[in-house]
Structure 1
Amino acid sequence: MKKVLVAYYSRTGKTQKMADYIAEGIRLSGNAVEMKKIVDIKSEKDIEGYDGYIFGCPTYHKSITKNFETFLFLVEKAGLKGKIGGAFGSSTHSGEAPGVIFDTMEHVFAMKMTNLGPFDLRENVVDSNEGIKACQDYGRTLGGMLN
């Protein structure tokens, strides 16, 4: 059984719910998952030792939040080259944050990213059956890459 870190920031609680549903999908794939809010990650040592990583942040002013940007600079120090990755986030209308995170993980950190690409979900869909299933499928797909 492999272990995946789901690290996220949530302003309204919707991205946190997405993280919960994605974690369910990872578990359904037969893997273990640990969830952490980015504010609880103090050094690169706090993110070492996982087989896969999924990072999530809501879109705020058409980008990631400043604290998530700082988090990505910390992640860069962890040396995640070749690790499995994915990125997600919620939005009300534009949805750029997951793409920013995904591109950073793929091109700066040189991670092996899921072929599903970045996963954006509108806030009004997160708690619907469709939203829950989409999140679980994203987690299950990433988990399947580890098996």
Structure 2
Amino acid sequence: MKKVMIAYVSRTGVTEKMANYLAEGIRMGGHEATLMKTSAIKNEKALSGFDGFIFGCPTYHKDMTSGMKQFLFLAEKANLTGKIGGAFGSHTHSGESAPMIFDTMLYVFKMDMVDLGPLNLTEAMMKTDEGTKACQQYGKVLAEKL
């Protein structure tokens, strides 16, 4: 059984809900999922011991939150090169944060990212069974890649 960290920022609870459904998908795939708010991760050592990572953040004003930006600088120190990765985010209108996180993980951290690209769902979608299933499926795909 491999271990996956799901690190996220959530202000209204929607992105946290996504993180929980992603964790279900990872568990359905036979692996262990650990959820952590990025604010609880104080140093790069907290990222050791994991085989895969999924980072998530909502989009606010067409950008990531400052907390996610700070976390990504911290994560860069952890040398995640070659680790399996994915990114997700919720939004109401635009949705720039999930692709930005995904690209950072792929091009800056040199991680082995899921072929699905970033999971980017509207807050309205997360109120439906389709949104729940999309998150679980994304988690399963990452689990299969492990």
Equivalent in the alignment of 2:50: 50
Equivalent in the alignment of 2:117: 117
Equivalent in the alignment of 1:99: 99
Displacement after TM superposition at 1:48 (Å)? 1.1
Equivalent in the alignment of 1:16: 16
Look up the SS of the partner of 2:145 in the other structure. Answer: helix
Corresponding letter in the other structure for 1:56: G
Look up the SS of the partner of 2:124 in the other structure. Answer: helix
Mapped to 2, the partners of 1:135 and 1:73 lie a distance apart of 26
Residues 1:134 and 2:134 are matched in the alignment: yes
Displacement after TM superposition at 1:111 (Å)? 0.2
Displacement after TM superposition at 1:142 (Å)? 0.3
Mapped to 2, the partners of 1:8 and 1:88 lie a distance apart of 9
Mapped to 2, the partners of 1:145 and 1:74 lie a distance apart of 25
Displacement after TM superposition at 1:54 (Å)? 0.1
- Per-residue CA shift, 1:3-36, capped at 9, x if unaligned? 0000000011000000000000000000001010
Look up the SS of the partner of 1:25 in the other structure. Answer: helix
Cα RMSD between the aligned structures?
Answer: 0.5
Mapped to 1, the partners of 2:118 and 2:33 lie a distance apart of 19
Mapped to 2, the partners of 1:7 and 1:20 lie a distance apart of 11
Mapped to 2, the partners of 1:31 and 1:2 lie a distance apart of 5
Please list every run of 5 or more consecutive structure 2 residues that lacks an aligned counterpart in the other structure.
Answer: none
Corresponding letter in the other structure for 2:127: D
- Per-residue CA shift, 1:73-116, capped at 9, x if unaligned? 00000000000000000000101100000000000000000000
Residue identity (%): 58
- Per-residue CA shift, 1:43-63, capped at 9, x if unaligned? 000111100000000001111
Number of residue pairs the alignment of both structures matches: 146
Look up the SS of the partner of 1:89 in the other structure. Answer: strand
Equivalent in the alignment of 1:79: 79
Using structure 1 for the length normalisation, give the TM-score.
0.98
Using structure 2 for the length normalisation, give the TM-score.
0.99
**Runs of 4 or more above 6 Å deviation:** none
Displacement after TM superposition at 1:121 (Å)? 0.4
